[in-house]
Amino acid sequence: MEGRTKLTARDIVARKGGAKLTMLAAYDYPIARLIESAGIELILVGDSLGMVVLGYETPVPVTVDDVVYHCRAVVRGAPRTHVVADMPYLSYHLSDEQALANAGRLIQEGGADAVKLEGGRIIAPRIRRIVDAGIPVMGHIGLTPQLAGGSFGVQGQDVASALAIVADAQAVADAGAYAIVVEAIPSELGRIVTEAVAVPTIGIAAGPDCDGQTLVSTDLLGIESKLFLSFAKRYADLGPTIEAAFASYVDEVRSGVFPGPEHSFAMPEETAQALRSALGSE
Ligand code: KIV
């Protein structure tokens, strides 16, 4: 999207209750480029990269180095898009110093505009510490996959846990987060949480009343036959298209159709003749 300016954290706060924010999780240069040219405003370099790109079962093995590496590629592909780097498991749990050092790496080395931390009231003081150092923080409450132990179910289905999620949202907002991802909660609770905080909520399976929405780009594109998040919506079915392209390539290589003259370089006739005579094959 030529001419567009990157949203700042402040711009994003100002969108509360206004035009819906759009965010996608993405991990590499070509997809980041396409996301930017489609006009999507935020990219999350999510720790979902562990499962979606690196083939792990959970996000737990993802490291700060992994996120820095993928973040740099995304930033190169989408220089006018607000990029949020996920803080991986145990990269912010040990101490304020550890959290701040790792958040700083994601900004300084990864080139991200903000970091995202999972957790509510317990993690709020850490959010405050990072925000006080001048790094914008996006919160993440409801289903928090780093802590889910592999069970990715709907949260907040009884009064006590619904109230706990509202309290988490308020604590994260009070700690200075500029936006909050709200994952896998009933739509009614998504509305209540959105009304309870002054910063935008970005929903993923949290109903239509959040201030924005996010998905994982590979789910949206239908790259894998199985959705990474079962509640995601698929907007394309690229997996079979990609497979068919790979199969055609194999067929054409084996049958000699590829490479054809248009995919090959011809040698000038005099050079070819001189080469043949130098090799004694003429
Ligand atoms: O890691 C990720 O992609 C996420 C989204 C699902 C919000 O946290």
Q: What is the per-residue pLDDT for 272? A: 96
Please give the structure tokens belonging to residue 244. Answer: 């068919």
204 lines ligand 1 (CB under 6 A): yes
Pocket residue to mutate for ligand 1, from 22, 23, 48, 74, most atoms within 8 A of Cβ: 48
181 lines ligand 1 (CB under 6 A): yes
Q: Rounded distance, CA 67 to CA 115, Å? A: 11
Q: What is the per-residue pLDDT for 1? A: 52
List 183, 224, 252, 262, catalytic entry: 183
Specify whether the CB–CB gap between 10 and 85 falls below 8 A: no
Report the predicted TM-score, pTM, of the whole model to 2 decimal places. 0.94
Q: What is the per-residue pLDDT for 230? A: 82
Q: Rounded distance, CA 195 to CA 192, Å? A: 5
Residue nearest to atom 5 of ligand 1 (CA): 46
Compute the distance from residue 109 Cα to the ligand 1 centre, in Å. Answer: 21
Alpha helix ranges (H) inside 1-58: 9-14, 29-37, 49-52
Please give the structure tokens belonging to residue 89. Answer: 């498991």
Q: Rounded distance, CA 29 to CA 33, Å? A: 6
Q: Rounded distance, CA 135 to CA 129, Å? A: 9
Q: Rounded distance, CA 81 to CA 259, Å? A: 38
Compute the distance from residue 46 Cα to the ligand 1 centre, in Å. Answer: 5
Q: What is the per-residue pLDDT for 151? A: 58
Q: pLDDT tens digits, the chain, 282 residues: what are they?
A: 556 899 999 999 999 999 999 999 999 999 999 999 999 999 999 999 999 999 998 899 999 999 999 999 999 999 999 999 999 999 999 999 999 999 999 999 999 999 999 999 999 999 999 999 999 999 999 999 887 665 578 999 999 999 999 999 999 999 999 999 999 999 999 999 999 999 999 999 999 999 999 999 999 999 988 887 888 999 999 999 999 999 999 999 999 999 999 999 999 999 999 999 999 976
Residue nearest to atom 3 of ligand 1 (CA): 46
Compute the distance from residue 48 Cα to the ligand 1 centre, in Å. Answer: 6
For 26, phi then psi, to 5°, come to -150, 165
The 10s digit of each residue's pLDDT in 13-55 is 999 999 999 999 999 999 999 999 999 999 999 999 999 999 9
86 lines ligand 1 (CB under 6 A): yes
36 included as an active-site residue: no
Pocket residue to mutate for ligand 1, from 58, 182, 216, 217, most atoms within 8 A of Cβ: 216
Nearest C-alpha neighbor of 153 from the set 183, 131, 129: 183
The 10s digit of each residue's pLDDT in 225-257 is 888 788 899 999 999 999 999 999 999 999 999
Cβ-based neighbour number of residue 111 at 10 Å: 17
Q: Rounded distance, CA 64 to CA 62, Å? A: 7
